[in-house]
Structure 1
Amino acid sequence: MATRLSALLLMTSISLGACATSAELAPTEQEEALAAQLQSASIVPATADERAAMENQDLLTQAAFWAEAMELNPADHEAAYKLASVVRRLGNARRASEIARQALALRPQSTELNRELGLALTASGQGGEAIEPLSAALRNAPDDWRLINALGVAFDQAGRSAQARERFTQALLLAPGEPAVLSNLGLSYALAGDPERAEDFLRRAVASGSVDSQVRQNLALVVALQGRFDEAEQIALEDVTPEMAEANMAYVRDMMSSPRRWDDLRGAEG
């Protein structure tokens, strides 16, 4: 689908010749026809097939598509929650929460918008604020393990670790062996000062083979916290250079020798 941006770029290219005569500045008939075509195409709402096809496009293309859909119709529910989702995944969680919050004014009971607002807030580290929208979304989708897992993250960020682990355990019942939940549960135990239980869950997550490097680094950390530095360094070496792994282990040794530094770290993570 043509966009307003295409028409704007065309008109901009026509006006760049500041030193040209007025006759030279005037667009040709072909240029005028193309500009009119692009502008008329941009106000036509996308079809259902075009919307479905967006799922296979890159995130930037999706963002442009859903932004234009919202410009055409600010009350477009699907465009709102999908734009919020894409913007969050592009790394702008704050903007994603703004999009979802504004759209919720029109549809306060929307499961999708409450979910996206909650996910954006947790991505920004605002777990305390995320609890309400995630809980609202769960009322309409009580068996969605992803929502339950996200609510667990929000509780952990809010310092409510016991409730967080309840949610992670509940999510595991619905999605046994899910590495994302295992990882979150392990990290929750680590932050609560229980590295042995944390290690069990993080090892299970790593064993799935579908986790990112951060989960392995968390495993290396909890192994090191139990004094097994050589083993922890070998785990860390899967993702970082020997120099970085050695520096990380030195940091953990230093942290363990200073209880205050460990307490500060837990507080910052919480």
Structure 2
Amino acid sequence: MIVVTLVATFGTVLAGCQSGQLVTGSIEPEAVTAPSAAQAAPATEAERVATVQRKLAEWQKRYQRRPNNKTNIITYAYLLRRANQSEEAIGVLQKATVKMPSDRDITIAYAKALADSGRPKEALEIIRRAEAASQDDWDFMSTIGALNDQLGDHRTAREYYKKALALAPEEPRVLSNLGLNYALTRELPQAESTLRKAASLPGADDRVRMNLALVLGLAGKFEEAQSIAGRDLPPVEAAENVAVMKRMLQQENTWDKVKKGG
């Protein structure tokens, strides 16, 4: 169920506020961008899984026909990651980096796949090879930020998010990462305001809205969190998410610990 995924993320936010774990995310190819709130989203987790599998099968065929096409490589690898096949995605991108060692987009995608597999240090080493030539790429800067967040260096991560925003001031996905970075450093008012801005911008997808819902839940604003989650989830699942958030915050006075920075 999607509730498991979202509540697991919420738990990671709570853990991050106390021990510094990653909750910021990466950016998907335009070819498979999630539907906006105005579009019809899949009503159940089974439908969402089926949609990913359908797209994966489609792009696998495209990749097999043209394995050296960059769009095919990046999109196929991304969908493998969405299908929880990160090792397969790494294999695809590793081959691509041999063929296209100086391609920045391939390098970014490879780093994201490594990070998904719990190898952020390796990912950061790889992506830094292209940093000098990537000062004008907001996606690149945001990815380095996310990797630093995963490694617990939230101050450096924030610097890279701000570099990304200097290049793309209205990019909701970078703002979403920055908002969650604030949550990790217990700056909840800044986290909430940044995520509200991100969610209000054109191009904000379901993950941006879910991040806002998570931070609202962390702030104890459960009714609004449920309302926002309900834009992309069936009402029952949105309610389940919020109910579990409440229970998690009530366990051992978690919320008091977070507010006190403990």
User: How does the TM-score come out when normalised to structure 2?
Assistant: 0.65
Match 2:137 to one of 144, 160, 163? 144
Structure showing greater Rg: 1
How far, CA to CA, are the matches of 2:251 and 2:66 in structure 1? 55
The structure, 1 or 2, with the larger RCO (C-alpha pairs under 8 Å, 6+ apart) is 2
How far, CA to CA, are the matches of 2:199 and 2:252 in structure 1? 28
Counterpart position of 1:232: 225
1:67-216, aligned counterparts within 5 Å?
67-69=64-66, 79=68, 81-91=70-80, 92-105=85-98, 108-216=101-209
Superposed structure 1 runs of 4+ greater than 4 Å apart: 58-63, 80-83, 105-110, 259-262
How far, CA to CA, are the matches of 2:131 and 2:191 in structure 1? 27
Task: Tell me, yes or no, if the aligned pair for 1:202 and 1:219 is still in contact at 8 Å.
Answer: yes
How far, CA to CA, are the matches of 1:241 and 1:113 in structure 2? 36
- What secondary structure is seen at the aligned counterpart in 1 of 2:232? coil
How many angstroms does 1:141 deviate by? 2.1
Task: Tell me, yes or no, if the aligned pair for 2:172 and 2:208 is still in contact at 8 Å.
Answer: no
Q: Percent identity?
A: 34
Task: Tell me, yes or no, if the aligned pair for 1:81 and 1:100 is still in contact at 8 Å.
Answer: no
Task: Tell me, yes or no, if the aligned pair for 2:66 and 2:72 is still in contact at 8 Å.
Answer: no
Task: Tell me, yes or no, if the aligned pair for 2:142 and 2:174 is still in contact at 8 Å.
Answer: yes
Gaps of 5+ in 2: 1-30, 32-54, 256-262
Task: Tell me, yes or no, if the aligned pair for 2:172 and 2:201 is still in contact at 8 Å.
Answer: yes
Match 1:250 to one of 198, 222, 243? 243
How far, CA to CA, are the matches of 1:163 and 1:130 in structure 2? 16
Task: Tell me, yes or no, if the aligned pair for 2:87 and 2:117 is still in contact at 8 Å.
Answer: yes
Give the letter for the 1:258 counterpart: Q
Give the letter for the 1:233 counterpart: Q
The size of the alignment, in residue pairs, is 200
Task: Tell me, yes or no, if the aligned pair for 2:77 and 2:92 is still in contact at 8 Å.
Answer: no
Task: Tell me, yes or no, if the aligned pair for 1:97 and 1:117 is still in contact at 8 Å.
Answer: yes
Task: Tell me, yes or no, if the aligned pair for 1:127 and 1:153 is still in contact at 8 Å.
Answer: no
Distance 1:224 1:68, change over 3 A: closer
Distance 1:219 1:176, change over 3 A: same
Task: Tell me, yes or no, if the aligned pair for 1:115 and 1:147 is still in contact at 8 Å.
Answer: yes
How many angstroms does 1:120 deviate by? 2.2
Give deviations 1:164-203, integer Å, cap 9, x for gaps. Answer: 1111111001101100101111122223332221111110
How far, CA to CA, are the matches of 1:186 and 1:238 in structure 2? 20
How many angstroms does 1:99 deviate by? 3.0
How far, CA to CA, are the matches of 1:233 and 1:69 in structure 2? 43
How far, CA to CA, are the matches of 1:107 and 1:248 in structure 2? 43
How far, CA to CA, are the matches of 1:66 and 1:102 in structure 2? 13
